[in-house]
């Protein structure tokens, strides 16, 4: 029933799928086509440049196999052509060939050390593979090379928040919001940063800023639900949670909040039903530290979560028959 869009960041990376590659390709192509054609190495022969351009045109039209063929021809003629390796990596990604894509993106970074988009795309692949430290290095480089890359800034900020570097993470989120005031994802994360520090008023302000403009925003309702939960207003938190789930049924943090809230109100069957459904897509949900991460547990929440999981584990892990 429920997956996540606000889970620990390495898990978020692991959930990036082939379908998202289409959107990534479109965004990255917009950067490379700033002058109506992709950037190419100055020393590349004209026919290689043509092949690279053809490859990116095919990617823009979502023809990954045709793009792959063009990029391979370009690489055969010019093995150190960074943009060709980048394009081939993206074409392979869109076909679900992550391991081969990573090799090509590594070469794109090696041959194009100043190619921001190559660092950014490799960072996403590395993050998906569960290597957040390496991904952080690559996102840092991507942001340094291209400060306007808000997607990489967001990912970098998420990684920083995950390891407790909240000050710099918040600075990055604030920078994104300065350029994009309606970026609800960044505003939600900024609000979560306030919540982690115990600043409920500032977190509520961020939630209300979102909801005033977009009353059905999943980000706004998610953030407000967590604020109300920390204020010990369980009924109101669950009401906000229901609004968030209506807007985004795949929010794992809201599934966890519903479980905790229903358990607190002695609505045990409802809490356990959500656990059973959630466990089908996220087995870590039965780990108290993972569960607590999702709802920003404080000392009062930890015992509640542990009690719920201890007494409900049989729902997903039936006891072995004697």
Architecture in CATH of 6-146? Alpha Horseshoe (1.25)
Both tokens of 215, joined, read 């009353």
- Could you state, in order of their start, the residue ranges of all structural domains in the chain? 6-146, 150-249, 251-322
As a whole number of angstroms, the distance between CA 152 and CA 283 comes to: 29
Q: What contacts 102, CB < 8 A, 6 or more positions away?
A: 89, 122, 125, 126, 129
Strands (E), the chain: none
Residues 305/285, Cβ–Cβ less than 8 Å = no
6-146 and 150-249 in the same fold: yes
Half-sphere exposure of 261 (CA within 13 A, CB side): 25
In the CATH hierarchy, which top-level class contains the domain 150-249?
A: mainly alpha
Q: What contacts 275, CB < 8 A, 6 or more positions away?
A: 259, 285, 286, 312, 315, 316
Instruction: Say what the pLDDT of residue 142 is.
Output: 97
Q: What is the pLDDT along the chain (322 residues), one digit of tens a residue?
A: 333 444 444 444 444 333 445 444 554 455 454 434 444 444 445 689 999 999 999 999 999 999 999 999 999 999 999 999 999 999 999 999 999 999 999 999 999 999 999 999 999 999 999 999 999 999 999 999 999 999 999 999 999 998 989 899 999 999 999 999 999 999 999 999 999 999 999 999 999 999 999 999 999 999 999 999 999 999 999 999 999 999 999 999 999 999 999 999 999 999 999 999 999 999 999 999 999 999 999 888 999 999 999 999 999 987 664 4
As a whole number of angstroms, the distance between CA 260 and CA 90 comes to: 41
- Alpha-carbon distances of 181 from 78, 185, 190, 243, rounded to whole Å: 43, 11, 12, 23
Global pTM reads: 0.79
């Amino acid at each position: 029933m429920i997956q996540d869009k606000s889970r620990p960041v390495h898990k978020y990376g692991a959930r990036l799928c082939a379908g998202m590659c289409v959107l990534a390709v479109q965004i990255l192509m917009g950067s490379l086509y700033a002058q109506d054609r992709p950037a190419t190495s100055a020393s590349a022969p004209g026919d290689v440049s043509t092949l690279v351009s053809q490859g990116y045109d095919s990617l823009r039209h979502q023809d990954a196999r045709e793009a792959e063929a063009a990029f391979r021809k370009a690489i055969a003629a010019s093995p150190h052509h960074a943009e060709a390796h980048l394009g081939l990596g993206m074409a392979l990604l869109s076909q679900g060939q992550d391991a081969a894509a990573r090799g090509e993106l590594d070469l794109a970074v090696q041959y194009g050390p100043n190619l921001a988009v190559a660092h950014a795309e490799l960072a996403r692949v590395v993050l998906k593979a569960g290597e957040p430290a390496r991904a952080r290095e690559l996102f840092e480089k991507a942001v340094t090379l291209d400060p306007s890359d808000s997607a990489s800034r967001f990912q970098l900020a998420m990684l920083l928040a995950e390891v407790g570097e909240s000050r710099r993470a918040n600075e990055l989120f604030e920078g994104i919001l300065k350029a994009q005031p309606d970026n609800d994802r960044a505003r939600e994360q900024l609000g979560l940063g306030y919540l982690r520090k115990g600043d409920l008023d500032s977190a509520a302000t961020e939630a209300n800023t979102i909801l005033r403009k977009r009353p059905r925003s999943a980000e706004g309702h998610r953030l407000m639900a967590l604020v109300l939960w920390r204020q010990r207003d369980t009924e109101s938190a669950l009401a906000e949670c229901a609004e968030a789930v209506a807007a985004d049924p795949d929010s794992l943090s809201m599934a966890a909040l519903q479980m905790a809230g229903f358990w607190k109100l002695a609505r045990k069957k409802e809490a356990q039903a959500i656990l059973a459904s959630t466990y089908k897509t996220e087995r870590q949900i039965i780990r108290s530290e993972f569960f607590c991460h999702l709802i920003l547990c404080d000392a009062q929440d930890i015992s509640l979560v542990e009690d719920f999981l201890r007494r409900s584990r049989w729902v997903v892990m039936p006891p072995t028959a004697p």
